[in-house]
Structure 1
Amino acid sequence: MSDAVLNKEACLAALPPDWPEELLPRIQARVRASRRKIVILDDDPTGTQTVHGLPVLTTWSVQTLKRALLTPGPGFFILTNSRSLDRTGACVLAMEIGINLQTAAELAGIATAVISRSDSTLRGHFPHEVDAVAKAMGTDARPYLILPFFPEGGRFTINNVHYVAEEEHLVPAAMTAYAKDAAFGFSSSNLKEWVAEKTAGRIPAETITAITLDDIRKGGPERVGAILAGVTDRAACIVNAVSYRDVEVLVAGLFMAGERGRQFLYRTAAAFVRVMTGIKPRADFLSRAELVADTRIGGLFVVGSYVPKTTAQVEALLEQTDIAPVEVKVANLLSAGGKEAEIEAAAALANTQLEQGRDVVLFTSRAIVTGADAKTSLDIGQVVSDSLIRIIQTVRHQPRYLVAKGGITSSDVATRGLHVRQAMIVGQIMPGVPVWQLESESRYPGMSYIVFPGNVGDDNALVAIQKKLA
């Protein structure tokens, strides 16, 4: 049943064992032998949470993309931040990027594979922005490949149902708070039904191909490749996965299907990106010495995410550390006369505490404020994000480090608050939490920028980061 909560340990233990062969070396050899560049269109910055050694671009002119295509390495990210836009805005942006990327690829003489990386809890502008990029690049006849598996965040797909791990349980995604998102809500945990729901019935659930765990773990790459090769144009294929080895089998199968002419439109979470680019995970997490600047100024947390997990993390941070709290009241930001005073007061307090060497958490009030419809809710989110950025822009000195919590928040802080045009992903500070090193065209070159997804980590995750970097 797609609405049944499962015991995580018992469920995973009952599955067939992983495919026995390690496939990453074979994948890496294929990636090296190919001149193809993998371009990840990331609808917020959190998609960098599984990789290292890849650049992130926040601009996408033809010349910028051509340079990136000609730079050594398996691929690069383009930060679109499209989840902060309404559907029309996201599609216009996707079309622009697709046209520029296709032009740049032709000028560079480089073939590309595009991954639309989105939220592992199924929120985002699917299928619309995927369709817009594909139309711009002339690939719109390809079928979708859907893979939201992301173990660092506890996201597993079993028997076609996508689950979110909550302590010892696996909860169907449609039963979580993520499914009630004002802009991107959904009612189906079964991925076949989810695709049918999101395509408004254009692709009926009964026509959708599924790669099962038996296909992956018993049949291996050959079985998976044969199934993928049989998926027809303008159709869809969903993938079950609970381990990175499952994804390796999938990618090996994709290579086989590609040799038979079958290509896909990828809509995936971050785990697929790491395997598709052939990146071996770092052996350890980044250390304090690698992350903290030599300055007396405090470190800064900026929290805009409103999901329940983030709220619990902020509460723990305030209870368990001596961090200086700077709360920004959303009700004041939305009132006709209170916005400017709220911004000025928060900015003054944050600067005072940072200059005294205290770590500061700048956070929005935790009560969720939504509009009457998806567009109004996105508009409210934009007002809040704009206000946080105005506060960030008043910070007078480079913090020792900066943590941004939430996808839209971290994108806006990077592009508008820190003027980042390009950064390098250097690794993770904890599972699913990436760190960028800012490059020369930014407000604070060389600073560590920690991109913390709203829906990742346990209740003490922010506490752990603050204590590690204190």
Structure 2
Amino acid sequence: MPLEADVLAAFPAEVQIPARLVADSLAASSEAFPRVLVVLDDDPTGTQSVSDLPVLTRWEVADFAWAFAHEINGQRQCAVYVLTNTRSLDPAEAAVRNEEVVRNALAAAAREPGLRLSFVSRSDSTLRGHYPLEPDVIAATVTAVSGEATDGVVIVPAFPDAGRVTIGGVHYMRGTGADAGRLTPVAETEFARDASFGFANSEMAKYVEEKSHGRFSADSVIVLDLNIIRAASSSAASSDGSAVDPQVSAKAIADAIDSATDSTPIVADIVSENDLRALALGLEEAERRGKKLLYRVGPPFVRARIGQEIRTELSGEEAYAGNTPSNAGGLIVVGSHVGVTTRQLNALTSQHGAARVVEIDVDTLLCDSAEGYLDETVESVVADLRRGDVIVHTSRLLIKTGDAAESLRIARTVSAAVVAVVNRTLKTFPPRFVIAKGGITSSDVAAHGLQIRHAIVRGPMLPGIVSLWEPVDGPAKGIPYIVFAGNVGDDESLAQVTRKLSNRWP
């Protein structure tokens, strides 16, 4: 594992770029014709880096009309998230859903003269998901509806808040603990062995070639390395200490992607928020020149692209602001099976001795007796919520299969059971708060368990990595909902969030 400092030594220093500079650039471009980023989020954890934006779990034209018109702090917002949950679907279903979302978004925008849309395909910072299928479908649908062709697909999986960075065209995970300061190529991590979305390459150009089965060769990929992203730093260093001008980088980025056509893949080095903001300025310049771009990105890209400040983590008081919390216990639902989730669950159960623990046995769910088993589970959860917080988790032994379709079927069966438990509990005895751990888990709990249709992303419960949704309608209105990705945080993170929200912590 190389040291991050050694890898970065070959590149210029980052350029300090205030979020306001990006926001002003976007505002200038949108003054005559407002633009909204429509973010197709393949699981709900993509909202963890943003704040005060609308999120939809349904995508009919009327839902988009609500999101485009909804005002927060007296202003319409320049991005809206759509929870597609396509990472839990097979490729054919994912394609249908992406097309439906794009068509309906464009139909809603057509009702507002001058409103322009750009599309973001938000996916995993560890490279799991339906790539290149999703950006392909989005691009094809935009062309079919509007006649507009996509010149380039900008691929930015980096998530510095969670330790995912791209340097020299290679995507890495930062080490923690004894490995702090070291970088592991992402193809050498457990995420690359995902049963449905595994991969072999950490070099992004080769990853594109691998996942596109050669349709895009590695040498056809445009790589925006840190020499380009940080061109302003290099320019200042060579001009007798003159002030750094971020527009130097913006021009360099726009120049570098000028040749993009017919959905050319474009990958970007990102190590920090400043790099993301430099990229945002460059993309804005490229689009101002007429380039039509589509984005395939990790969570923090949208925050930087719209010039949003990094929101400080919410306190427990802020999480309940505007609502009166109930005296019931909170519900913590854990579905993810990655190693960090299991460690977080163990830390929570050991520290929160007052919480009741209910395990959902996956083997039983796959048997004929599942219905009666779920009845018993709901009764237990409701009874325990009357006394305090309840931790509901699926059994930790992951049932593995070499068949991707069968893996998805098992995942759906388990998720359906978790949803049923949450929904029936909500209707019987609403909890004080709900935390859902894991991508598919948090998506299904939001859309089906809590029946959230429209919500506002209020901000992070931990710096940049755990999202608080405020449901604005439905039976969960007034109940803080925490979307907690399976693969983020340290061993203490789940306990830290629960402690903030609980009124029963020992």
Q: Secondary structure at the match of 1:394?
A: helix
Listed one character per residue, the Cα deviations across residues 55-114 of structure 1 (whole Å, up to 9, x for unaligned) are 001111123223323441112111111111000000011111111122222222211011
Match of 1:452 among 475, 484, 500: 484
Q: Secondary structure at the match of 2:49?
A: coil
Give the CA deviation at 1:14: 6.5
Cα distance in 2, alignment partners of residues 225 and 456 from structure 1: 32
Match of 1:158 among 159, 162, 167: 167
Structure 1's 123 and 421: CA in aligned 2 closer, same or farther, altered over 3 A? same
Contact conserved, 2:150 with 2:261, CA < 8 A, in 1?
A: no
Q: Where does residue 330 of structure 1 map in the other structure? A: 362
Cα distance in 1, alignment partners of residues 448 and 165 from structure 2: 34
TM-score, normalization: structure 1? 0.95
Give the CA deviation at 1:32: 2.5
Cα distance in 1, alignment partners of residues 482 and 352 from structure 2: 19
Cα distance in 1, alignment partners of residues 455 and 97 from structure 2: 21
Which runs of structure 2 are paired with 1:38-77 in the superposition (5 Å)?
38-71=37-70, 72-77=76-81
Q: Secondary structure at the match of 2:183?
A: strand
Q: Does 1:229 align with 2:258?
A: yes
Contact conserved, 1:302 with 1:404, CA < 8 A, in 2?
A: yes
Give the number of aligned pairs. Answer: 461
Match of 1:89 among 89, 93, 98: 93
Structure 1's 106 and 294: CA in aligned 2 closer, same or farther, altered over 3 A? closer
Q: Does 1:340 align with 2:371?
A: yes
Match of 1:307 among 290, 315, 338: 338
Q: Where does residue 272 of structure 1 map in the other structure? A: 301
Give the CA deviation at 1:274: 0.2
Match of 2:446 among 389, 396, 414: 414
TM-score, normalization: structure 2? 0.88
Q: Where does residue 7 of structure 1 map in the other structure? A: 3
Listed one character per residue, the Cα deviations across residues 147-199 of structure 1 (whole Å, up to 9, x for unaligned) are 00111211000111111123113211111111111111111111001111111
Contact conserved, 1:162 with 1:191, CA < 8 A, in 2?
A: yes
Contact conserved, 2:439 with 2:485, CA < 8 A, in 1?
A: yes
Listed one character per residue, the Cα deviations across residues 327-355 of structure 1 (whole Å, up to 9, x for unaligned) are 11111111233x12332232122111111
Cα distance in 1, alignment partners of residues 378 and 6 from structure 2: 50
Contact conserved, 1:131 with 1:140, CA < 8 A, in 2?
A: no
Contact conserved, 2:150 with 2:294, CA < 8 A, in 1?
A: no
Listed one character per residue, the Cα deviations across residues 269-316 of structure 1 (whole Å, up to 9, x for unaligned) are 11111011221122x311111225532211110011111111111111
User: Residue type matched to 1:310 in 2?
Assistant: T
Q: Secondary structure at the match of 2:467?
A: strand
Identical-pair percentage = 38
Q: Where does residue 132 of structure 2 map in the other structure? A: 127
User: Residue type matched to 2:297 in 1?
Assistant: T
Give the CA deviation at 1:318: 1.5
Give the CA deviation at 1:239: 0.4
Q: Secondary structure at the match of 1:229?
A: coil
Q: Where does residue 240 of structure 1 map in the other structure? A: 269
Contact conserved, 1:41 with 1:117, CA < 8 A, in 2?
A: yes
Which runs of structure 2 are paired with 1:356-367 in the superposition (5 Å)?
356=387, 358-367=388-397
Higher mean C-alpha deviation, range 98-107 or range 54-63: 98-107
Q: Does 1:368 align with 2:393?
A: no
Give the CA deviation at 1:377: 0.4
Match of 1:113 among 114, 118, 129: 118
Cα distance in 2, alignment partners of residues 355 and 256 from structure 1: 56
Q: Where does residue 202 of structure 1 map in the other structure? A: 215
Give the CA deviation at 1:244: 0.8
Give the CA deviation at 1:11: 4.3
Q: Where does residue 424 of structure 1 map in the other structure? A: 456
Cα distance in 2, alignment partners of residues 318 and 125 from structure 1: 34
Q: Where does residue 83 of structure 2 map in the other structure? A: 79
**Runs of 5+ in structure 1 lacking a partner?**
none
Structure 1's 294 and 107: CA in aligned 2 closer, same or farther, altered over 3 A? closer
Alpha carbon RMSD of aligned pairs, Å? Answer: 1.6
Cα distance in 1, alignment partners of residues 499 and 8 from structure 2: 33
Q: Does 1:211 align with 2:239?
A: no
Q: Where does residue 260 of structure 1 map in the other structure? A: 289
Q: Where does residue 350 of structure 1 map in the other structure? A: 381
Listed one character per residue, the Cα deviations across residues 196-238 of structure 1 (whole Å, up to 9, x for unaligned) are 1111100000111100111111342221121022223232111
Contact conserved, 2:221 with 2:267, CA < 8 A, in 1?
A: yes
Cα distance in 2, alignment partners of residues 86 and 447 from structure 1: 32
Q: Secondary structure at the match of 2:327?
A: coil
Q: Secondary structure at the match of 1:49?
A: helix
Cα distance in 2, alignment partners of residues 438 and 100 from structure 1: 22
Contact conserved, 2:98 with 2:137, CA < 8 A, in 1?
A: yes
Structure 1's 197 and 143: CA in aligned 2 closer, same or farther, altered over 3 A? same
Match of 2:467 among 431, 434, 438: 434
Q: Where does residue 381 of structure 1 map in the other structure? A: 411
Cα distance in 1, alignment partners of residues 315 and 7 from structure 2: 35
Which runs of structure 2 are paired with 1:186-201 in the superposition (5 Å)?
186-201=199-214
User: Residue type matched to 1:370 in 2?
Assistant: K
Cα distance in 2, alignment partners of residues 60 and 279 from structure 1: 24
